[in-house]
Amino acid sequence: MFKVIAVAGSPRREGNSATLLKAALAGATAAGAQAEVVYLNDLSFRGCQGCQPCTADDTCRVQDELTPVLGRLRQADVWLLGAPIYFDGVSGQMKLFFDRLHHLTNEAGQLRKMLPGRRAAAIVVTYEDKPRDDYREVAQRLANYLGWMGRFDPVEVVSLGRLGPSDAAAARPELLAEARALGQRLVEQLAQQGRTDG
């Protein structure tokens, strides 16, 4: 059974990005996957310390409440990362989390994918402003770095503007349906491709 993990980078558990993540998880579950959501704001964790030993053995030396989540991420076939845009970047919670993935990008100073097998992913960002290419680019850049960690194919980017109030996404059934279809599609595509080929 495929495992899907959603990492929610907003402090608002019922906010826009988390609502869309949960819809995507529902789609993944409908496709037969096992689903989990992690709310980063519930965890006490530090950002990357830049201490570098991780580049030698792909193990993060920082031990805190994010540590078990990093273990579960390794086991997950589909990663769904969602966050609001705060001051033109992803929320601080998501940035701290993403920095802690550094150990998955290197070995002994060489750029090498540290995650075996094939995975699928989606990066979801929500924001208040009109649709903006630069905010899509914020999400796309994170998506690009997943390619440094493992064979993520496909990686979808979802960038949604005009979502100011926290309940805005919940009132947009078409967005919820698209998110649900996204979760279902990622699992189905992975199932078709096979998780370990290549």
Ligand X SMILES: Cc1cc2nc3c(=O)[nH]c(=O)nc-3n(C[C@H](O)[C@H](O)[C@H](O)COP(=O)(O)O)c2cc1C
| 13 scored as a contact of ligand X (CB under 6 A) | no
Cis amide linkage into residue 53, ω under 30° from 0: no
Render the burial of 4-39: b for 16+ CB within 10 Å, e for the rest. bbbbbbbebeebbbbbbbbbbbbbbbebebebebbb
State the minimum distance, in angstroms, from the CB of residue 111 to ligand X.
31
| 96 scored as a contact of ligand X (CB under 6 A) | no
User: Cβ closer to ligand X: 2 or 135?
Assistant: 135
Residues 70-89: x/- map of binding to ligand X (CB under 6 A)?
Answer: --------------xxxxx-
| Residues between 129 and 148 that touch ligand X (CB under 6 A) | 129
From 13-21, 56-64, 96-104, 139-147, give the range in contact with ligand X by CB under 6 A.
Answer: 13-21
Residue 179 host element (H or E): helix 173-193
Report the 10 Å Cβ neighbour count for 50.
Answer: 8
Positions in the binding site for ligand X (CB under 6 A): 10, 12, 15-18, 84-88, 126-129, 163-164, 166
